């Protein structure tokens, strides 16, 4: 097999690894949120993951890479972290708590659609028919996920459902802004060492910010009262999502085209639907499964042009 084909395959497998990593982290977060508030959970997750990633950088002997980062890259990483990992991930955890993995994950994974929207509005990129069709299909998928089982849902449950879906959609918008900023930062220093250093700066910045304002955000300092099992679950989820997931996606960009990597990494909804049934015992209807699948198809249509 030619070397470039092998490299492309490795890149695609890495993108798939990112999708699986984000699925695993979603399941872990959902379990932890049964015992903790979203804000408290995010403070613990970010603080502990930041310590682990910094320790990894030290062990690998890459600390000097952080010092070599340009000032504008550091600013982009910090702002991206506060927006995406701080605001975005807190909204994500709230949506997981309200509507579960099977519904929340597919909607949050529509962030590539919003990234394209920013490209059209801010960079003046042309809109093609596949992009429009993909957008329509994604909206249809979201509509299917928002359908309520009229036979068993109370008004309170319906209100919680729509709140959770709104939070998931807001997460996608916030993540798209954060990703656009981190992409700008990575393009300034296009190699894996700097990508790792940028991610560490990103996580550390938001961890320090959240910890500093924790008395205001988390009244009663609930993050200090969590049991060890919940803390361990959140740390594991953080390492899987922010460490492995982000590394896999970055590595896939090195080995294959972004147009191939992004759709593959966005297949998380398919894995999340299966794991939510098997591991979390969530009720997944035919409409939920169809909605998840349709959203993935819409994402593929947008990027495979």
Per-residue pLDDT at 149: 60
Per-residue pLDDT at 238: 92
Per-residue pLDDT at 148: 63
- Give domain status of residue 237, yes or no: no
Give residue-wise pLDDT tens across range 71-104.
999 999 999 999 999 999 999 999 999 988 888 8
- Give domain status of residue 32, yes or no: no
pLDDT over 90 (residue 140): no
Interacting residues of 1 by C-beta distance below 8 A, sequence separation 6+: none
How many structural domains is the chain composed of? 1
- Give domain status of residue 136, yes or no: yes
Give residue-wise pLDDT tens across range 172-190.
999 988 888 887 787 777 6
pLDDT over 70 (residue 2): no
Looking at residues 253-259, what average pLDDT do you find?
Answer: 67
Interacting residues of 48 by C-beta distance below 8 A, sequence separation 6+: 231, 234, 235, 238
CA pair distance 48, 67, nearest whole angstrom: 22
- How far from 30 is each of 73, 112, 218, 247, CA to CA, in Å? 33, 23, 19, 23
Q: What is the pTM of this model?
A: 0.83
Burial of 279 (0-12, 13-18, 19+ CB in 10 A): middle
- Give domain status of residue 283, yes or no: yes
Looking at residues 143-162, what average pLDDT do you find?
Answer: 70
- Give residue 293's domain range: 38-226+271-303
pLDDT over 80 (residue 53): yes
Least confident of 45-59, 116-130, 225-239: 116-130
- Give domain status of residue 260, yes or no: no
Question: What tokens were used for 291?
Answer: 């909605």
pLDDT over 90 (residue 158): no
- Give domain status of residue 13, yes or no: no
- Give domain status of residue 235, yes or no: no
- Give domain status of residue 1, yes or no: no
Q: Closest Cα to residue 28, out of 209, 237, 241?
A: 237
Per-position b or e across 65-103, b if 16+ CB within 10 A of its CB:
bbeebeeebbebbbbbbbbbbbbbbbbbbbbbbbbbbbb
Looking at residues 269-279, what average pLDDT do you find?
Answer: 79
Q: Are 165 and 93 in contact (CB under 8 A)?
A: no
């Amino acid at each position: 097999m030619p070397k470039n084909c092998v490299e492309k395959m490795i890149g695609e497998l890495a993108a798939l690894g990112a999708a699986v990593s984000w699925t695993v982290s979603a399941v872990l977060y959902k379990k932890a949120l049964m015992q903790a508030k979203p804000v408290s959970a995010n403070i613990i997750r970010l603080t502990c993951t930041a310590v682990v990633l910094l320790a990894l950088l030290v062990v690998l002997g890459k600390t000097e890479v952080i010092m070599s980062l340009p000032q504008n890259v550091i600013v982009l990483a910090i702002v991206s972290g506060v927006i995406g990992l701080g605001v975005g991930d807190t909204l994500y955890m709230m949506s997981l708590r309200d509507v579960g993995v099977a519904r929340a994950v597919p909607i949050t994974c529509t962030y590539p659609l919003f990234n394209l929207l920013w490209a059209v509005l801010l960079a003046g990129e042309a809109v093609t028919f596949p992009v429009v069709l993909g957008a329509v299909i994604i909206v249809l998928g979201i509509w299917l996920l928002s359908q309520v089982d009229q036979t068993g849902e109370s008004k309170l449950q319906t209100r919680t459902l729509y709140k959770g879906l709104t939070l998931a959609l807001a997460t996608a918008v916030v993540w798209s802004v954060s990703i656009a900023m981190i992409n700008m930062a990575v393009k300034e220093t296009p190699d894996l060492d700097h990508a790792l250093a940028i991610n560490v700066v990103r996580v550390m910045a938001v961890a320090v910010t959240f910890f500093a304002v924790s008395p205001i955000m988390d009244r009663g300092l609930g993050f200090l009262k969590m049991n060890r099992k919940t803390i361990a679950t959140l740390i594991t989820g953080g390492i899987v999502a922010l460490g492995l997931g982000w590394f896999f996606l970055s590595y896939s960009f090195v080995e294959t085209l972004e147009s191939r990597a992004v759709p593959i990494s966005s297949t998380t909804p398919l894995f999340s639907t299966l794991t939510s049934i098997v591991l979390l015992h969530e009720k997944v209807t035919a409409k939920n499964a169809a909605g998840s699948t349709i959203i993935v198809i819409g994402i593929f249509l947008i990027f495979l042009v």
